[in-house]
Every structure is written in C-alpha cells, then in structure tokens.
A and B are shown apart, each in its own frame.
Chain A
C-alpha cells in the first residue's frame, strides 16, 4: 500500500482533514501519516470502512512523549549565527512546548496489508493533552488508550471507560513521561541496597515533616536522578 495514495484517498473522502506524511529514515520504511485531532474519527472510520483500504485491525496503540526541546534550539541557533556574536545563544532560549503523540498501527485482516501508521499530537503536555478516542472505531484501542492515559496523561475524549489501567487510581503522575521522577517512598523490600533504603526512610521522615506539600515526589529529583546508576552492587 502506498501511503501517498491512501493520503489522497482519505483527503477525498474526508473533506477538510489535514494529513501529513511523516517520513521514517529507518530501513524499516514504515512511514506514517499525521492526522489532525478534529478529523481523526472520520479519518479512522474511512480507513476502516473504505472498500479499498479496510484497515479493520488496529493492532498497536501507543504514546510518545516529546518534551520541550532545548538541544535542537541550539542547533538552530548555530545555523543563525552569521557573525561572531556569542551572546545571542543565551537570549534565544525559547523552548518549544513539547507534545504527546499517539501512534496507531493499522493492519487489514481482510486485505492482508499494512501496517499503516497514524500519528496524532496533542497541543501541549499539560492542560490541552486531549485527543479524540478511536475506541469507538476500533475496540482494540480500549485498553491501550487507557494505558496511554495512565502512563502518558493523554485524555481521550469519547473513550467509554477512561480510567487508569496499570497504576492505581490514586496515583498522580504519568510514569512514562520523559521528565517523570519516581517517588522515593515506595515500600522497598529490604535488600542489600541499604543505601536506597536509607534514602527512602530519610524521604519518609522529610515528607512527614512537611505533610501538606503536595509535590512530595518531586522534591528529591536531584538525588533520584542517579538512583539507577548507583543503586546496584552495594
């Protein structure tokens, strides 16, 4: 299946939809199609039902977190540099807001073709992290969208039963985000890693000291960052 023909077919079928081809430089050659949230359901229904397409199996749904980028900013700045001014770099640190992306891998059982990769992005990673749910189109997205809601924090509008899937209901953060910092107050099994245990206890007492503060997990971000690297072998 050629993605270009699919794109034109979809554009003809769903007037007003904005589709964008996203090239994949990898040898896998699985290029993807970015669709806009407003027409997502219509596009999905067309993909599922159009006789030439019949993508009836939505195999894989997953989220990707793209936090605001700073490193790429610097690259852009270097391109801008035409003189020898060094101060400009520091001034031009406008970070892009970042987004959460949801990827759908579609296959066709009837026509045995695929995959076609659909992508949708949220406007930002906080308040506007809303996307339309494709569960009404493909039931297989039900649990996977719940998982994305749980682990990434994308709110799927129109999902029949949007609850946390893997984390418990009282959990506040979204663990799969790149900037997620694990809280230090899990009940660790006492192992030889007593350093971790010591920090956990210390953290507990600190948390008890300033009970009303809500962002307990985030305070220790500095010490947490290197937990994985120094946790072992002690």
Chain B
C-alpha cells in the first residue's frame, strides 16, 4: 500500500514528540549555563603549569627543559630559560622558565606536551569557559595565567594527580633519605649545612 512507509514515519516522529516529554534520555541537550555536564576526569582543554605550595612563581615544577616546546606539533609554546637556578619539587637546583607562553589560539589540545614532560610540570586543564573579547592578548597565556596549583590539579584529575603525587612523594623520600644520609654523613663531620638542605625538598613548606 502506498503511503504505508510515510505513515510509519509519522508514527515514529509522533512517538519521539511525546517521548521527548516523557523520557529524559531523548533530550540530550544540556541547558548550558544553568546545567552542566558532570566533569569528566579524562577531559582536556588547554595546558597549564602545575606549582606546589602557595606561591606560584616559586613552586613551579617546570624546569624550562624545552622538551614540550620542541615536541609541540603546532609550535604554540614559547619558553625562555632563566639564567639562574632554583630548587625544584624534589629539591634539585634547576633552571626555571623566565618566559613561558602558550598561544591557545594555536594550541590544538593534543596533550603531547603533557606526555613528553618528564617533570609532570605541564598538565591539561578541563576549563572550557574560555571565551574572551580580546583575541590577541587574552589568548596568549603567560606564565602567571598558566600557573595552577597542585590542589587544583588534584581536584580536576584526581586519579592521575594522586599517582603523580605518589611519585613525587617517593622521589622526595628518596631525596630526603639521600639528604639525610648526606647530612648524617656530614653531621658526623660537620653539623651546620643540614637545615637548609632539609627545607628545600618539600614543595609545600618552602617559605
């Protein structure tokens, strides 16, 4: 019979019409500013730099090794190495980035910088409310705007951050043990240098 298929289609759309009032699974639209999707842990938007402790500048994990700058496919990272060194998360004296810029108008959120970073210093953010009315300045993120605390990192990527923290704790313990051994060895010889060496490693306690 001609028209049968058309009628079937009409019935189907009618079912969807009423179904959209009954079943919530049919309406997948999220009313964005009022409603938000639950945060997905694996989600990623743009990179940020992790720092430990209260001071973003001092606690920054980045050691300006420039690996991410080299590996970044669209070359959106600009790093200028510092002239001097400062202690890093584990306690070793390291360079730090004098300039660390990410042009997020170029960045394509590929996460390769995160994967190649040996220091767990750069991670992916999940924030997507990034619209701005300044297409130049606001899309070029400098060190200050990139820096986010480790607590924030723990909040957005709990599993991953916990692993990183555990790794750091282990490293730190190792370094501490080493330092302790060194201090003990040195204390045996001379009991003066130890306090400074002990204060440095723990990121949260530096100054």
- The B contact surface, by secondary structure, is mixed
Cβ contact within 8 Å between A233 and B105: no
Interface contacts (Cβ under 8 Å), in number, total: 38
The smallest beta-carbon distance between A108 and chain B, in angstroms, is 37
In the complex, what residue of chain B is closest to A194 when comparing beta carbons?
B136
Chain B CB within 10 Å, residue with most, of A191, A193, A228, A232: A232
In the complex, what residue of chain A is closest to B78 when comparing beta carbons?
A233
Indicate whether B76 reaches chain A with its CB closer than 8 angstroms. yes
- CB under 8 Å from chain A, chain B span 63-85: 69, 72, 74-79
Cβ contact within 8 Å between B78 and A191: no
Cβ contact within 8 Å between B139 and A232: no
Chain A hits for B78, CB < 8 A: 232-234
Provided the pairs A232-B106, A233-B103 are in contact, do residues A192 and B136 lie with their beta carbons within 8 angstroms?
yes
Offer 23 A-B interface pairs, CB within 8 angstroms, sorted by A.
Answer: A191-B103, A191-B105, A191-B106, A191-B136, A192-B105, A192-B139, A192-B140, A193-B103, A193-B106, A232-B72, A232-B74, A232-B75, A232-B76, A232-B78, A233-B69, A233-B75, A233-B76, A233-B78, A233-B79, A233-B101, A233-B102, A233-B103, A234-B101
CA of A191 to CA of B139 in the docked complex: distance in angstroms?
A: 9
- The A contact surface, by secondary structure, is loop
Chain A hits for B75, CB < 8 A: 228-229, 231-233
CA of A116 to CA of B106 in the docked complex: distance in angstroms?
A: 40
Report how many residues on chain B are interfacial, defined by Cβ distance under 8 Å: 18
In the complex, what residue of chain B is closest to A232 when comparing beta carbons?
B75
The smallest beta-carbon distance between A189 and chain B, in angstroms, is 9
The smallest beta-carbon distance between A194 and chain B, in angstroms, is 8
CA of A190 to CA of B136 in the docked complex: distance in angstroms?
A: 9
Contact with B along A159-195 (1 / 0, CB 8 A): 0000000000000000000000000000000111100
Contact with B along A221-234 (1 / 0, CB 8 A): 00000001101111
If A232-B76, A232-B78, A234-B78 are given as contacts, then 16 extra A-B residue pairs at C-beta distance below 8 Å, sorted by A number, are A190-B136, A191-B103, A191-B136, A192-B103, A192-B105, A193-B106, A228-B75, A231-B75, A232-B72, A232-B74, A232-B106, A233-B75, A233-B77, A233-B101, A233-B103, A234-B101
CA of A191 to CA of B101 in the docked complex: distance in angstroms?
A: 14
CA of A193 to CA of B102 in the docked complex: distance in angstroms?
A: 12
Chain A hits for B136, CB < 8 A: 190-192
